[in-house]
Amino acid sequence: MEHQVPVTILLVEDDPGHAVLIERNLRREGIANNIIKLDDGQKAVDFLFKNGEYSGSDHPAPLIILLDLNLPVLSGYQVLQAIKSDERTKAIPVVILTTTDNPQEISRCYALGCNVYIAKPVEYEHFSDAIRKLGLFLSVVRVPETRS
């Protein structure tokens, strides 16, 4: 078996309740990776590009980003756009995890370059199911090394 470098999960979600639910379900699925929680878009961008309050900090190991669209300061779209338009970050897999299931929204995100789009269903069974599957996905996905 190949040695895989553990992936750090960046969860950008402004609703604390959702953040807790997502983390709990991931853990329930057996994901033991480090989860970094940020609650607004600007913080996410600063973190990724080592700007603002994160300047000078150590960039973590390979990343996968769980991104909500409804974020304060900078919206999920803007974050997605920033990620996908920068050479340093555009290869990072992005999973859009949001409440809306509008098809137009979905295609818009794919057009921007997201990798996966998951609608947060209110039906809790479905929700936890989806997160578990995501967990499974995360455990098998190979993520490229992020350049420093």
Partner 1 sequence: MKTKGKLTFIVTIIGAILFLAASFLVWNSIATYRMVNTVTPSLEVLRLLKETQSRLHNQQYNLVHFIVSGEDDYRKNFISRRSLIEDKLMELVRMVWEQQARGISGEDKVEENINIVMQKYLRYLEKAEACIQTKRAGRTDEAIRNLDIEATSYFDAELLPVLSRMSRDEKLEIHEAYSIITRRLGALPWVAGPGMEQVERAVSAVDYDLAVSNAELGMYRQVNELTEFLLYGKTGEWEEFLGYRFEMRRLLDEWHQTIARQQALGMEGEDDDEKQFEAIRARYENILLLMEKTAAIRRSQGRSAGLESVERTLRFPLDNVFFSTMEVIGKESRDEVQEAHGALLRTVVIGSAAGLTGIVLASVLVLLLVLRMSTTIISSLTLLKDGTELIKGGDLEHHIRIAGSDEFSELASSFNGMADSLKERNDELRSFIYSIAHDLRAPLVNLKGFSNELSRDLAGVMPALLMGLTSLNEVERKRVAAVLEQAIPEALGYIDASTQKLEALISAFLQLSRIGSRVLDPEALDTEGLVQAALRTFAHTVKEKNITVTVGPLPSVVADRMDMEQCIANILGNAFKYLEPGRAGVVSITAERTKDEAILYFQDNGRGIAPDDIQKVFELFRRAGKQDTPGEGVGLAFVKALARRQGGNIWCESASGNGTKFCLSIPVKGEQSI
Q: How far is the CB of 124 from partner 1 (least distance, A)?
A: 4
CB 63 within 8 A of CB 10: yes
Q: What is the per-residue burial (b if ≥16 Cβ within 10 Å, else e) of 68-93?
A: bbebeebebbbbbebbbeeeebeebb
Query: If binding means CB under 8 A, how many residues of this protein chain bind partner 1?
Result: 16
| Distance, CA of 104 to CA of 32 (rounded, Å) | 34
Answer yes or no whether residue 24 interacts with partner 1 by CB under 8 A. yes
Q: How far is the CB of 132 from partner 1 (least distance, A)?
A: 14
Structure tokens at 85: 């338009």
Residues 2-21 that bind partner 1 (CB under 8 A): 15, 17-18, 21
Residue range at the interface with partner 1 (CB under 8 A); choices 35-43, 47-55, 85-93, 121-129: 121-129
- Cβ distance to partner 1 smaller for residue 43 or 120: 120
Residues 43-72 that bind partner 1 (CB under 8 A): 70
Residue 27 burial (CB count, 10 A): 14
